[in-house]
């Protein structure tokens, strides 16, 4: 057996359920093979995690920023020391390939975000000091943070949640997706080698555990990445305890290609903006609006690029696109593409899955000549199928981009960055990229507009959202 695979199995064994403990089979979405067994925790395990967090948090808060940052840097080193094992678990459980902007990339991002949280300065801010009045703004620990994560980027988004929470002096209880618990269990086990006992716990349970986190009186803040519908449920259930919330919810990101853009020059950026993680990314490009003057040229350039990108089993080094993570998501994508085909839309590439093969593979699919009200455009597909819509005027493109109730990200593509920025200012989204899409940076705040959530992550603003503001006046 491959030595790295033996090491991966060793880490999987370390997080496996104890004999007699409830467990869930986790299967590889690319092959259907068994990856491992995840524990099925319940409310008793949640209470134990909360008790451990409450015991560990006061000393952690008292340690101060410098000591906490040192521990986060040590955690980053631990992630890097175990990077290949973590990437293989992630690839086998989530489906994403090792290479490209996928499993190894995601594990590397975990280390990068831990270091960024450690390095970002956040000093007390003197608001007024005029000789008569002195007011200084501080950020104190909230206490306990509940982190509820998704299945698409399970390791990276968990770090997005726990790194700033820890830096600000909080303890964290993590609830991973039922689809990808092994990745998060393994990651937290590695990170905990650099942290005080009890400070970060994983409760690998079902929706009952997630719901209990949102109502638990000891948890002062909930961070959630997932669907808008679940985010609304969290808002309602957290109301009685007036929890602080950071919600990164669903998106259906628009990209607008202006008529001066060079189709050949932007094809690669458009592709990865849409198809990173096989389209399973909240801030992926999901609706592409192209001016009529260059519409066919963009369709051709994008099709030529997309046709060359290999899809397959994640552990095979040549692949950079993988399967859908689960059958339910596969069926959503397949249904939306079939509806588009039935409406008369033109399929440029894909749309023809081989259902005789194992795994939830849906081919890279580009759909042109599609109406803006078509479900493939109006609903978030969250998979490898991109609709391309023709427009005549920039006003029309902006109106279509803004027509939906979500607004996580967007992009504008042009040979003239200043002209692109003018269009970007008119788009209702939390982030608008110029000649790129979805490029998040640990130094730059990120959050949604409209029903794509509220609260900010990353940078100093992200740290502030994991602290309790306190004004000392006098």
User: Among all residues, which ones are annotated catalytic?
Assistant: 248, 282
The secondary structure of residue 244, as a DSSP letter, is E
Q: How far is CA 465 from CA 62, 397, 455, 460, in A?
A: 19, 34, 7, 9
In 9-154, the DSSP E strands lie at 23-27, 34-39, 125-129, 134-141, 144-148
CB 146 within 8 A of CB 221: yes
The two structure tokens encoding residue 161: 């949640």
With CA atoms as reference, report the closest residue to 206 among 24, 31, 420, 472.
24
Q: How far is CA 45 from CA 106, 203, 217, in A?
A: 28, 7, 16
Around Cβ 474, how many Cβ atoms within 10 Å? 7
CB 92 within 8 A of CB 139: no
Strands 134-141 and 467-473, by their bridges, are antiparallel
Q: Which residue is listed with tokens 């903006």?
A: 273
Distance of CA 231 to the CA centre of its chain: 14
Instruction: Compute the distance between CA of residue 272 and CA of residue 445 in angstroms, rounded to an integer.
Output: 21
CB 60 within 8 A of CB 279: no
Residue 426: Cβ-neighbour burial (10 angstroms; 0-12, 13-18, 19+): middle
CB 341 within 8 A of CB 335: no
Distance of CA 66 to the CA centre of its chain: 28
Instruction: Compute the distance between CA of residue 72 and CA of residue 383 in angstroms, rounded to an integer.
Output: 33
With CA atoms as reference, report the closest residue to 102 among 116, 86, 114.
86
């Amino acid at each position: 057996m491959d030595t790295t695979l033996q090491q991966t199995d060793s880490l999987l064994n370390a997080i496996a359920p104890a004999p007699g403990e409830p467990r869930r089979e986790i299967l590889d979405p690319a092959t259907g093979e068994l990856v491992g067994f995840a524990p099925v925790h319940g409310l008793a395990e949640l209470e134990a995690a909360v008790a451990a967090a409450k015991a560990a948090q006061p000393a952690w808060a008292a340690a101060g920023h410098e000591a906490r940052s040192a521990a986060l840097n040590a955690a980053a080193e631990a992630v890097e020391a175990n990077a290949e094992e973590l990437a293989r678990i992630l690839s086998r459980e989530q489906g994403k390939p090792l290479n490209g902007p996928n499993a190894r990339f995601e594990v590397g991002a975990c280390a990068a975000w831990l270091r960024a949280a450690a390095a970002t300065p956040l000093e007390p801010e003197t608001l007024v000091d005029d000789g008569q009045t002195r007011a200084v703004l501080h950020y104190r620990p909230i206490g306990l943070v509940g982190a509820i994560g998704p299945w698409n980027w399970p390791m990276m988004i968990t770090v997005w949640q726990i790194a700033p929470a820890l830096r600000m002096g909080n303890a964290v209880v993590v609830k991973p997706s039922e689809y990808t618990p092994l990745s998060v269990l393994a990651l937290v086990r590695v990170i905990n080698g650099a942290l005080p006992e009890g400070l970060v716990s994983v409760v690998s349970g079902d929706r009952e555990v997630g719901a209990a986190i949102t109502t638990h009186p000891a948890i002062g803040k909930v961070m959630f990445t997932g669907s808008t519908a679940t985010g609304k449920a969290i808002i309602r259930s957290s109301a009685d305890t007036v929890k602080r919330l950071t919600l990164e919810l669903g998106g259906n990101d628009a990209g607008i290609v202006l008529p001066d853009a060079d189709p050949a020059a932007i094809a690669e950026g458009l592709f990865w903006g849409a198809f990173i993680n096989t389209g399973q990314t909240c801030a992926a490009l999901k609706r592409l609006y192209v001016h009529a003057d260059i519409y066919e040229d963009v369709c051709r350039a994008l099709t030529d690029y997309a046709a060359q990108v290999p899809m397959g089993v994640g552990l095979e080094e040549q692949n950079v696109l993988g399967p859908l993570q689960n059958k339910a998501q596969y069926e959503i994508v397949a249904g939306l593409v079939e509806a588009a085909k039935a409406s008369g839309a033109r399929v440029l590439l894909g749309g023809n899955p081989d259902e005789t093969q194992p795994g939830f593979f849906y081919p890279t699919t580009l759909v042109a000549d599609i109406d803006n009200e078509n479900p493939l455009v109006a609903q978030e597909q969250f998979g490898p199928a991109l609709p391309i819509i023709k427009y005549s005027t920039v006003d029309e493109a902006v109106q279509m981009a803004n027509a939906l109730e979500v607004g996580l990200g967007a992009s504008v593509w042009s040979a003239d960055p200043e002209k692109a920025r003018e269009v970007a200012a008119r788009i209702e989204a939390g982030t608008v990229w110029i000649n790129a899409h979805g490029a998040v940076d640990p130094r730059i705040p990120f959050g949604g507009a409209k029903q794509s959530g509220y609260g900010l992550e990353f940078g100093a603003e992200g740290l502030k959202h994991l602290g309790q503001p306190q004004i000392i006046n006098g």
